């Protein structure tokens, strides 16, 4: 299940179709597609519609709502994965001392939910402006926004760095580093992949 607090269900499905059918998102939005594009799109639409994927784009979701919905999906559909996009858009619906404390609570509750339902929870988080101040612009664990507890609660933290996001003419244009900055049960590492933003996807780097 994807709990999307930022994008609508329609936007997510369009990105999935773009990635799977390899059709530019801009072409899908404008309708400028070839007959071959339409054929691929129809085939992928059928596959995605039959996939065991639930997208919940309800606005202003609270932690209590996410927990209740996830439990229900676990009982009825053998839930295998929970994605929350993104943490800082969640609301508790109650008065709190600070936003940092509130986000820390969300982080802790999601950790408990993963243990209770025995499914992985992938939570997307914003970063602060730390990378902008550094020469290499690479994100670090300390850049996780509004909450020090995210770093403690997570079993794994993956950060994405695209050199050409900062310098369009960067010699590594088209590449992205997936930085495994924390791994509770294994080593940390960095994997370089190719990004195809027009298809909303990452690919393995070409060999050789």
- The residues that are catalytic are 6
Report d(CA 81, CA 117) in Å as an integer.
10
Output phi, psi for 169, to 5 deg: -90, 15
Q: Judge whether 161 and 139 are in contact, CB under 8 Å.
A: yes
Beta bridge partners of 91: 62
DSSP 148: S
**Torsion 99-103-109-112 (CA) sign:** negative
Burial of 14 (0-12, 13-18, 19+ CB in 10 A): middle
Report d(CA 87, CA 149) in Å as an integer.
12
């Amino acid at each position: 299940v994807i709990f999307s607090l930022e994008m609508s269900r329609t936007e997510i499905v369009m990105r999935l179709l773009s990635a799977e059918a390899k059709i530019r998102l801009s072409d899908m939005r404008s309708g400028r597609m070839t007959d071959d594009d339409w054929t691929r799109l129809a085939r992928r639409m059928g596959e995605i519609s039959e996939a065991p994927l639930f997208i919940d784009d309800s606005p202003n979701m609270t932690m209590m709502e996410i927990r209740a919905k996830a439990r229900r999906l676990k009982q009825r559909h053998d839930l295998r994965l929970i994605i929350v996009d993104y943490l800082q858009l969640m609301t508790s619906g109650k008065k709190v001392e600070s936003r940092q404390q509130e986000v820390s609570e969300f982080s802790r509750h999601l950790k408990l939910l993963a243990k209770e339902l025995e499914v992985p929870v992938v939570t997307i988080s914003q970063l602060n402006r730390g990378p902008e101040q550094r020469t290499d612009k690479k994100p670090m664990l300390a850049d996780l926004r509004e909450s020090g507890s995210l770093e403690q609660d997570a079993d794994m933290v993956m950060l994405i760095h695209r050199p050409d996001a900062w310098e369009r003419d960067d010699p590594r244009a088209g590449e992205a580093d997936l930085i495994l900055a924390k791994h509770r049960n294994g080593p940390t590492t960095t994997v370089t992949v190719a990004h195809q933003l027009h298809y909303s996807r990452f690919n393995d780097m070409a060999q050789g």
